């Protein structure tokens, strides 16, 4: 193998090396654009923050139990419980999207009320003892 004139590359190794080089060149080209990585990161971070803001606004911007309003401690809660399983299945972004589509099953709770609700429902996490 490797001596056939019509083949562009003499061997599989050569072909693979050429393929690796193309991928590396492409990567370097993208990296050398200063906006490339930063843009993507900023966009997705801001996008996520916007989505969350939107969901909080839809849900009334305050804790449904005590009226606490500092969004840093507000959490989206599924009224019927099962939040943890849902979180595992949909991820934070999935839940935010679900709230925006149909907010009725959800409410806002501050971190304190969320823990209290879990304790009342027997959902509390034993790790936290």
Q: Which residues bind Zn ion (CB under 5 A)?
A: 63, 65-66, 68, 110, 113
Of the candidates 71, 69, 68, 76, the one whose C-alpha atom is nearest the C-alpha of residue 108 is 76
Q: How far, in Å, are 13, 56, 109, 113 from residue 68 at the CA level?
A: 64, 13, 8, 9
Q: Which is nearer to Zn ion, 46 or 70 (CB)?
A: 70
- Rounded to 5 degrees, φ, ψ at 7 are -80, 140
Q: Which is nearer to Zn ion, 90 or 119 (CB)?
A: 119
Q: Which is nearer to Zn ion, 18 or 66 (CB)?
A: 66
C-alpha 42/C-alpha 15 separation (Å) is 37
Residue 65 CB, nearest distance to Zn ion (Å)?
A: 5
Residue 53 CB, nearest distance to Zn ion (Å)?
A: 19
Residue 116 CB, nearest distance to Zn ion (Å)?
A: 8
């Amino acid at each position: 193998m490797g001596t056939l004139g019509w083949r562009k590359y003499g061997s599989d190794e050569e072909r693979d090396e050429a393929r690796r080089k193309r991928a590396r060149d492409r990567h370097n080209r993208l990296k050398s654009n200063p906006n490339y990585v930063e843009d993507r990161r900023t966009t997705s971070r801001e996008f996520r923050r916007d989505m969350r803001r939107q969901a909080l606004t839809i849900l009334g911007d305050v804790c449904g139990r005590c009226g606490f309003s500092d969004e840093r401690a507000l959490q989206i809660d599924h009224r019927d419980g099962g939040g943890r399983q849902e979180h595992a299945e949909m991820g934070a972004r999935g839940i935010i999207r679900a709230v925006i589509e149909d907010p009725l099953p959800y409410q806002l709770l501050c971190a304190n009320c969320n823990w209290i609700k879990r304790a009342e429902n027997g959902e509390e996490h034993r790790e936290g003892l």
